[in-house]
């Protein structure tokens, strides 16, 4: 599979929430994009939906079926490693339910166009003129978490958890995705932390290669698997990531 941009779509029991026609329409309109669907051990009809979609455009859509459910982070990681071998300029990931619409990939691509940035992140900011529909309780809990993550990373990042991201393919990217993530829920934060851990002489700081883009639309799709109690688990994972960064700082001092 060849394309300038390969987008990983992690899927776990998404048969009733996926819109295959949206992906078909997008690849017909945007030839620079291809998709790799990673079926993360689904037990419903996700495999059949994905294979039917792949059969309609095998040059632009591929599938990777994992035997057991390993979590979204591992599905994304496996997909990125497979996609790197195909030689695209950029690799990203997007939620299968399209809570972030496919159209959001276009401005993310533009942000990486000049080669100065390596990480483009979609951000769910409820501004006038934008359609950001989020559950109130999850929004406020998310703001507390995002503030903590920003302080931990030392980056002025507004929204680490938005499921729309695009990365320029570099040796650094492969290093970041080389090993399984320690966190199941906040692997997005761990990705940024790993980029920070790769900072060394000759490589730019993450704050200089990362950019956020406010999404025009984001809809909290019914049936999302994330629950409020998962924020408690995420807080524990955040402390683990903080410990990794602290060990790095101590090693440098």
93 and 110, same structural domain? Answer: no
126 and 196, same structural domain? Answer: yes
Q: Which domain holds residue 132?
A: 106-253
Q: Is the pLDDT of residue 253 over 80?
A: no
156 and 73, same structural domain? Answer: no
Q: Is the pLDDT of residue 201 over 80?
A: no
241 and 136, same structural domain? Answer: yes
6: nearest Cα among 38, 26, 31, 35: 35
Q: Is the pLDDT of residue 148 over 80?
A: yes
More confident residue, 237 or 65: 65
156 and 49, same structural domain? Answer: no
Q: What is the CATH number of the domain that holds 37?
A: 3.90.550.10
25 and 63, same structural domain? Answer: yes
125 and 56, same structural domain? Answer: no
- Predicted confidence band at 224 (pLDDT cuts at 50, 70, 90)? low
For residue range 152-167, what is the model confidence (pLDDT) as tens digits?
A: 899 999 999 999 999 9
Domain closes at, from 98, 122, 155: 98
Number of Cβ within a 10 Å radius of residue 202: 5
27: nearest Cα among 39, 15, 35: 35
121 and 85, same structural domain? Answer: no
135 and 251, same structural domain? Answer: yes
Once rounded to an integer, what is the mean pLDDT over residues 12-24? 95
Total tally of structural domains belonging to the chain:
2
pLDDT the model gives residue 245? 86
168 and 48, same structural domain? Answer: no
């Amino acid at each position: 599979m060849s394309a300038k941009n390969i987008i990983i779509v992690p899927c776990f029991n998404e048969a009733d929430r996926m819109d295959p026609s949206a992906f078909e329409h997008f690849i017909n309109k945007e030839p620079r994009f291809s998709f790799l669907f990673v079926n993360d051990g689904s037990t419903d009809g996700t495999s059949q939906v994905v294979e039917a979609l792949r059969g309609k455009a095998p040059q632009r859509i591929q599938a990777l079926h994992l035997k057991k459910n390993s979590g979204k982070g591992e599905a994304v990681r496996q997909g990125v490693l497979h996609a790197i071998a195909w030689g695209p300029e950029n690799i990203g990931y997007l939620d299968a339910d399209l809570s972030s619409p496919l159209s959001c990939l276009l401005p993310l691509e533009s942000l990486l166009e000049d080669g100065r940035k390596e990480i483009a992140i979609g951000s769910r900011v409820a501004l006038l003129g934008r359609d950001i529909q989020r559950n109130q309780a999850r929004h406020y809990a998310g703001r507390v978490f995002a503030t903590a993550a920003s302080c931990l990373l030392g980056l002025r990042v507004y929204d680490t958890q938005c499921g729309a991201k695009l990365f320029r393919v570099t040796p650094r990217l492969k290093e970041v995705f080389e090993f399984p993530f320690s966190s199941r829920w906040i692997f997005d934060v761990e990705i940024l932390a790993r980029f920070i851990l790769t900072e060394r002489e000759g490589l730019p700081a993450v704050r200089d290669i990362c950019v956020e883009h406010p999404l025009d639309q984001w809809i909290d799709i019914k049936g999302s698997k994330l629950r409020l109690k998962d924020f408690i688990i995420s807080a524990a994972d955040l402390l683990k990531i903080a410990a990794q960064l602290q060990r790095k700082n101590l090693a440098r001092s």
